[in-house]
Structure 1
Amino acid sequence: MAIRAILLSKDSLDPRGIRLQGARVTGQLDLTDVRSAVPLKLEKCRFDEPVVLERAQLSTVSLRGSHLSGLQADGLHVDGDLSLKGLRATGTDQESVVRLRGAHITGRLWMEGVVINNATGSAFFADDLKVDGTAFLDRLQATCDSKHGAVQLIGARIAGQLVMTNCRLTNYGGPALHADALRVENMTGMDDLRAIGEGESGAVRLSEAHITGQLSLSQAKLYNSSGPAFQADGLRVNALVSLDGLKATGHHEDGAVRLMHASISGQLNLLGAVLVSDRGPGLAGDGLRVGGSTVIGGLQAEGAGEDGAVRLSGAHLSGKLSTRGSEKAVRLTNKGNGPALRADRLRVDSDVILASVTATGRGELGTLHLPGAHIAGDLTVGGSATNDSGGRIFLDLRHAHVHSQLSLFDQTFWREAFSKQETERPQLLLNGLTYRTPPTASGADIWLEALQKCMPHYSPQPYRQLAESYRNVGAEEQAKKILIAQQEAFHATLHRRRDKAWHRTSDLTVRYGYRPGRALWLLLLLLLAACGVMTIWAEPHGLLVHPGDGSHCGFIETIGEAVTRTLPLLRFAAYGGCKLTDSGGAQAVYAVMLILQALSWALLTLFVAGFTGIIRKPSS
């Protein structure tokens, strides 16, 4: 009561204000609605009753190193710094032990090393707090059992930095840190944070928060036994976000780390992070926007369910998505029934480099699920991808687009896949995938074999896309080889004998239209056969003679007769000078020549069709 009376006294006060150190205050210090322009410093004091500063308007305030059962300072206005360094507060207030709801501090907020314990409510409740300088909350320890956050900063506004490094926050009934709609005009540091929370709200919650500077949770450890570890849906950060070395464990369908529809203008780092959820994804980033690169080298993500271990559906990454930057391999594991990576409709404006990845999925969605993805640069996937149960699909790139090079695994991976029995062989879904240049790493032969052996059903588009990529670099012969292989695969899908016979004929004669010169060679063989029939059979046996006197025909006349009868388009001058007789043998020769003539016309037709591309027109 004496302190209140002094501050309200009309007598002039010492400009140095009120200073009290090491005292024990037995009554309640209640400065509600008090206005004072001098500093108030009550340091290393012990208060038996909660300190009340509600709606007070004070100059610099310091409770540094003091022990108290509560601080009620809703609506407090401080024209300077508020220092609670080393404060010890233990109480049983059902709302909060330390309250700064709606407070306004024009200077800095010092809460370094503060220890707050509350068995029945929140520890530090500061919704709508406004700090015009930096808020130092590093090494803060808060323990409580409340549906509110152990540290609650919903709607708070901090013009400087928010420093929460090395904090230890525990809430047995709700979030450890609840800061929805928080706004920080500078960087926010939560390195080495330890947070244990409970419930669906998350252990650390930053939904719809807006941080103008960097956000760092490097080496932080977050745990929630019944919800997400880090809930940051709609988060906006105008610079880099560092989650390097983050260890986050959640137990909920929402996943361990949620960045749904978050927007990060700078780079997103997840180097060496360990994200674990036993009921949902390790990382859920649907609709995530990242303006810089996304670096996930050494990431260990474990999830369960159809959402995947890492989910980036509809995300838009302006920079690279890369696994580089760490010596550790990336491990993506789904222990439920779903993919390791689910990134349908992912858009990346640069390269996607998934090298040294060990991905394990389960179920029909496949291990790496990227249908409809759009990648403006290269797509590189290396390491291993396995589907443990419920299906054999390990890569789904249906209707995806890669603007530049495609590199999927190395030859060792593919050789091992090809060596397995057909019923155990891993499967690819590639229908609609487009890319510009030939696949690297595996090579044309390996990739072609992958199309033949690892696609669950025949589809012409993957073959044609592969051929087109070789045409783009001028490798026309390689393109034809691939298209011939496509026709061979198509032949296996035919069922009617007539279709099979025609298809096989086009193979033998013009190689499905891609080798039309073969028909000309066969035509030459027919001409040789016709010449043989005439010179070896007809002329020596008197079956081919001059019609006037019945004399034998000369060699050139015989050859001319053979060529002209086989190909009527080629009429020799000597034609008409020799004629087959009416004998039975001559009639047999005539029949043979008719057959050879029909075959020659067929070969000519096939040659023209193959040369002009008509034989390749069907969509098969």
Structure 2
Amino acid sequence: MEINELTAAEERVWRAFPRGRAVDFREGSDDDPAAGGDWGPERTVRAEVLRALLLDGPRQEGEIASLDLAGARITGRLDLQYATIDHPLRLRNCHFDEAPRCYAARLRELNLSESVLPGFTGHAMHVDGVVRLTRTRCRGVLRLGGARIGGSLYLESAEVTAPAAGVPVLQLNQVDVGDDLRAPGLRTHGQTRLNGATVAGSVNLNEARLSHPEGAALDAETFAVQGDMLLRHAEVRGWMGLRGARVGGRLDLSYTLLSHPGSSALRAASATIGELWLRRSLPLEGALNLRRAQLEVLFVEPGSVPEEVLLGDLTYTSLIPHEPAERRLPMLERERDGYVPHAYEQLTAAYRRVGDDHAARLVQLAKQRRHRRTLPWYGRVWGLVQDVTVGYGFRPLRAAGWLLSLLAVGSVTYALHHPQPLKAGEAPPFDPVFYTLDLLLPVISFGQDSAFAPHGGYQLLAHVLVLTGWILATTVIAGVTRTVSRS
């Protein structure tokens, strides 16, 4: 391309390129690139001119060439697919008439901050440095799937929307980021996809607003981040998927609203997470799915637990903050799959690790009561007997109370109404206390019950004492065996 073929605005850019100087067409701080379609030729640059500069532009000895342009209207399509660009590419506060195309391009640096684009295609793009899309407004699909970014990816306060239904508007699937993914204040209207992406640093989505109520707002299946993933003070309308994801540090959802009524709002099945924080969050509008997830720390406040959870095979080392068992047990009662023994065992283990044996016993008692509801009627009856008498072995003093009460009733009754001896002259002296003990304790004999025989209603009382004694003995043995096996 010859310089005499250029407009005045394009010639200015052309001459600045070899010296690496910035060209700024902005007329003030309130210059809005959204209105760039009305900008005149004095700040309009053809995309083919920029492409010619980047591929084979003039050089000046001793200078580092770069394309640094701000406040321009760029007409035509900037097509750099498969190109290798050795210069920084900075097109800030610009208005693009057509979506740039950088498919499989090799770039040093890409900066489209505060620009307005109808879309962007950067599949398999390789950028040695950083990609800056800070406050960029993309009115179509932003495609970065499979991109390799050596530095950080910046999407602070960016806004991405697309009119096409069913197409992810922000495509970061399989992207490889060598440092951080910084996107605080990100706004998306449609699905954001992070499937298979890897981030060597941390992910910051604080105060983001991700909206796709009819489906996935953030789909990050098998996503891997070595540091933290922060999503504080955010709003996610649509489900958030982290199935099989790996978060080395903290997944922080504090003060965040997750909303997908009628289905799971957070899907983190089979995820491996250092710490999961649901702190000061509104209760999820939808279910919490942590099936088969592995967590070091689960920070969840009882008030943040939704009406429905899926906790099958969830494992965690620590549960914070420390709360009484009575405040934690309702979470297990909300299990969609019904009775899940493993969930009770995990909660018991968490209490035992911090030395709260009382809470651990309460959880085990709740587990037995929940299990009882799954049994046939005769199993429920026997379970109820164990619960009332000895609390399934976790309330052993109840048995002593029952025995003392029955001993008092029998002793007083038979003290007032002595039973008749079976063989007159051979029976030992009658003792109402030891006679009652003979009836109550099936494995001990004081020689009283075999020597005396009550009649009428007193004989019925004797049968009740014998039956009750056997039930108490059986439940005590079963409870003690269960307690010992859990110790």
Report TM bin, short chain. Answer: 0.7 to 0.9
C-alpha distance in structure 1 between counterparts of 2:56 and 2:241, whole Å: 40
> Which deviates more, 524-533 or 398-407?
524-533
Correspondence 1:275-424 to 2 at 5 A:
275-277=188-190, 281=191, 283-306=192-215, 308-324=216-232, 329-334=233-238, 339=239, 341-364=240-263, 366-385=264-283, 387=285, 393-408=286-301, 411=303
Residue type of the partner of 1:143? Answer: T
> Which deviates more, 561-570 or 293-302?
561-570
C-alpha distance in structure 2 between counterparts of 1:469 and 1:487, whole Å: 18
CA deviation after TM superposition for structure 1 residue 117, in Å:
4.1
Residue type of the partner of 1:367? Answer: A
Provide closer, same or farther for how the CA distance between residues 155 and 511 of structure 1 changes in structure 2, counting only shifts above 3 A: same
C-alpha distance in structure 2 between counterparts of 1:85 and 1:332, whole Å: 47
CA deviation after TM superposition for structure 1 residue 109, in Å:
7.0
CA deviation after TM superposition for structure 1 residue 134, in Å:
4.4
Counterpart check, 1:155 vs 2:82: yes
> Which deviates more, 505-514 or 589-598?
589-598
> Which deviates more, 155-164 or 205-214?
155-164
Provide closer, same or farther for how the CA distance between residues 476 and 386 of structure 1 changes in structure 2, counting only shifts above 3 A: closer
Residue type of the partner of 2:194? Answer: G
Q: Secondary structure at the match of 2:96?
A: strand
Provide closer, same or farther for how the CA distance between residues 600 and 136 of structure 1 changes in structure 2, counting only shifts above 3 A: same
C-alpha distance in structure 1 between counterparts of 2:463 and 2:475, whole Å: 18
Residue type of the partner of 2:437? Answer: V
Residue type of the partner of 1:461? Answer: H
Residue type of the partner of 2:55? Answer: L
Q: Structure 2 regions of 5+ residues with no counterpart?
A: 25-42
CA deviation after TM superposition for structure 1 residue 380, in Å:
2.6
Correspondence 1:194-205 to 2 at 5 A:
194-196=116-118, 203-205=119-121
Q: Secondary structure at the match of 1:239?
A: coil
Q: Secondary structure at the match of 1:538?
A: coil
Q: Secondary structure at the match of 2:45?
A: strand
C-alpha distance in structure 1 between counterparts of 2:86 and 2:10, whole Å: 29
CA deviation after TM superposition for structure 1 residue 521, in Å:
3.0
C-alpha distance in structure 1 between counterparts of 2:439 and 2:422, whole Å: 15
Correspondence 1:10-409 to 2 at 5 A:
47=4, 65=8, 84-85=14-15, 112=23, 115-117=44-46, 125=51, 129=55, 133-139=64-70, 140-144=72-76, 150-171=77-98, 176-185=99-108, 187-196=109-118, 203-224=119-140, 228=141, 230-252=142-164, 253-277=166-190, 281=191, 283-306=192-215, 308-324=216-232, 329-334=233-238, 339=239, 341-364=240-263, 366-385=264-283, 387=285, 393-408=286-301
| Structure number, greater radius of gyration | 1
Q: Secondary structure at the match of 2:319?
A: coil
Mapped contact 2:225–2:247 kept (Cα < 8 A): yes
Specify which structure has the bigger relative contact order, considering alpha-carbon pairs within 8 angstroms and separated by 6 or more residues: 2
CA deviation after TM superposition for structure 1 residue 505, in Å:
1.0
> Paired residues, what number?
461
Higher-helix-fraction structure: 2
Mapped contact 2:46–2:74 kept (Cα < 8 A): yes
CA deviation after TM superposition for structure 1 residue 151, in Å:
0.9
Could you list the per-position Cα deviations for residues 536-579 of structure 1 after superposition, in whole angstroms to 9, with x for gaps in the alignment?
2116xxx24984378x936xx4433443344354444xx47993
Counterpart check, 1:427 vs 2:308: yes
Provide closer, same or farther for how the CA distance between residues 549 and 246 of structure 1 changes in structure 2, counting only shifts above 3 A: closer
C-alpha distance in structure 2 between counterparts of 1:294 and 1:143, whole Å: 34
C-alpha distance in structure 1 between counterparts of 2:117 and 2:186, whole Å: 16
Aligned residue number for residue 599 of structure 1: 468
Residue type of the partner of 2:249? Answer: S
Mapped contact 1:530–1:566 kept (Cα < 8 A): no
CA deviation after TM superposition for structure 1 residue 603, in Å:
1.5
Mapped contact 2:439–2:469 kept (Cα < 8 A): no
Q: 2:438 aligns with which of 564, 579, 586?
A: 564
Q: Structure 1 regions of 5+ residues with no counterpart?
A: 1-28, 31-41, 51-62, 69-81, 88-106, 145-149, 197-202, 388-392, 418-425
Mapped contact 1:182–1:210 kept (Cα < 8 A): yes
Aligned residue number for residue 451 of structure 2: 579
Provide closer, same or farther for how the CA distance between residues 563 and 383 of structure 1 changes in structure 2, counting only shifts above 3 A: closer
Mapped contact 1:84–1:112 kept (Cα < 8 A): no
Mapped contact 2:297–2:319 kept (Cα < 8 A): no
Residue type of the partner of 1:138? Answer: L
Could you list the per-position Cα deviations for residues 574-605 of structure 1 after superposition, in whole angstroms to 9, with x for gaps in the alignment?
x4799326xxx558656643542343233222
Aligned residue number for residue 33 of structure 2: none
C-alpha distance in structure 1 between counterparts of 2:16 and 2:438, whole Å: 112
Percent identity between the two aligned chains: 19
